[in-house]
């Protein structure tokens, strides 16, 4: 009987303290967000001016203390709770950032830790070079693949993609005029947009050229020139054929 009474007493005490004690293992309602203002940010490597801010319901928040590696960066008592800093002020290397949130009712919450690697100006320059070289390399490889595929497609066809003066549909991207051969062709979806223009491959001469979208009037004028050249070539071919026939006929005239 005494053992049962003792066990019941211990169980009641355990339940009482379990209900009265605060829950420390609960998930935080808040988090921190690090945003770039000016500088470099690629993956977890950053350098420059950034802003760390609180993410979550700010209504019950009394103050927020932002910390880096356990050291206080600042304590902000006004919404929106944020702090602007420069990475050079905290040294090169890996750093852990978080915030301690004090609510109006006196309770405290700690946000999850975010980690970044603060890099030097020299490493920033090297990282930018790597990104630029990689981007340029990707563009070159893409152009080579597109050129090879297009060349194979054109080679398999028994006739040219389009005869001079033939009606055409320029599609959604519109048409352009090749600065090399002066013939019009539709701009392709695989062309590379390089701000100053679209690098594309001419369907007529096969050369890569920088293009801009031509107006309908300019395209019609280019088509008219093609038709005139085609007609001129046709007339010239007829004249040559007649002259050749006359020359052939003279072979069969006997001398008197």
pLDDT one-digit tens code per residue, 121-177: 888 888 778 878 777 777 777 777 766 766 665 555 444 455 665 667 788 888 999
Name 162's Cβ contacts closer than 8 Å, sequence gap at least 6.
Answer: 168, 185, 203, 204
Residue 168 lies in a domain: no
133 and 215 belong to one structural domain = no
Residue 76 lies in a domain: yes
Confidence of residue 69 (pLDDT cuts 50, 70, 90): very high
Any idea of the CA torsion for 88, 41, 131, 139, to the nearest 10 degrees?
A: -150
Please report the sign of the dihedral spanned by the C-alpha atoms of residue 207, residue 209, residue 212, residue 217. negative
Average pLDDT over residues 59-85: 94
Residue 19 lies in a domain: no
33 and 88 belong to one structural domain = yes
Q: What is the pLDDT of residue 19?
A: 40
Residue 8 lies in a domain: no
109 and 184 belong to one structural domain = no
Least confident of 62-66, 68-72, 210-214: 210-214
77 and 94 belong to one structural domain = yes
Residue 14 lies in a domain: no
Residue 179 lies in a domain: yes
Asked if the bond preceding 80 is cis, omega within 30° of 0, the reply is yes
110 and 35 belong to one structural domain = yes
Residue 195 lies in a domain: yes
Decide: helix, strand or coil at residue 39. Answer: strand
If phi > 0 it is left, if psi is from -120 to 50 it is alpha, else beta; for residue 202 that is: beta
Least confident of 66-70, 128-132, 205-209: 128-132
By percentage, how much of the chain surpasses pLDDT 70?
A: 71
Residue 224 lies in a domain: yes
39 and 96 belong to one structural domain = yes
112 and 150 belong to one structural domain = no
143 and 115 belong to one structural domain = no
State which residues form the domain around 196: 175-249
Q: What is the pLDDT of residue 182?
A: 87
Average pLDDT over residues 181-187: 89
Least confident of 70-79, 121-130, 216-225: 121-130
* Domain CATH number, residue 110: 2.60.40.10
Any idea of the CA torsion for 235, 205, 190, 166, to the nearest 10 degrees?
A: 0
Average pLDDT, the chain: 78
Q: Is it the case that residue 50 has pLDDT exceeding 90?
A: yes
Q: Is it the case that residue 252 has pLDDT exceeding 80?
A: no
Q: Report d(CA 134, CA 89) in Å as an integer.
A: 31
């Amino acid at each position: 009987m005494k053992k049962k009474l003792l066990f019941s007493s211990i169980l009641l005490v355990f339940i009482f303290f379990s209900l009265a004690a605060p829950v420390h293992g609960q998930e935080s309602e808040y988090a921190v967000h690090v945003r770039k203002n000016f500088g470099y940010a690629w993956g977890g490597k950053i350098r420059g001016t950034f802003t760390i801010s609180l993410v979550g319901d700010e209504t019950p928040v009394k103050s927020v203390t932002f910390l880096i590696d356990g050291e206080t960066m600042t304590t902000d008592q006004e919404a929106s709770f944020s702090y602007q800093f420069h990475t050079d002020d905290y040294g090169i290397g890996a750093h852990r950032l978080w915030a301690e949130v004090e609510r109006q009712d006196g309770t405290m919450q700690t946000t999850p830790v975010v980690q970044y690697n603060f890099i030097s100006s020299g490493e920033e320059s090297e990282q930018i070079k790597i990104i630029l070289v990689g981007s340029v390399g990707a563009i070159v490889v893409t152009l080579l693949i597109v050129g090879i595929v297009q060349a194979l497609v054109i080679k398999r066809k028994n006739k040219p993609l389009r005869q001079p003066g033939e009606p055409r549909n320029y599609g959604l991207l519109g048409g352009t005029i090749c600065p090399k051969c002066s013939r019009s062709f539709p701009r392709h979806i695989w062309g590379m947009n390089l701000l100053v223009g679209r690098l594309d491959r001419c369907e007529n001469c096969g050369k890569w050229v920088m293009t801009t979208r031509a107006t309908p009037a300019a395209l019609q004028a280019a088509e008219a020139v093609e038709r005139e050249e085609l007609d001129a070539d046709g007339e010239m071919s007829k004249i040559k054929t007649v002259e050749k026939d006359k020359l052939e006929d003279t072979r069969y005239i006997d001398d008197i």
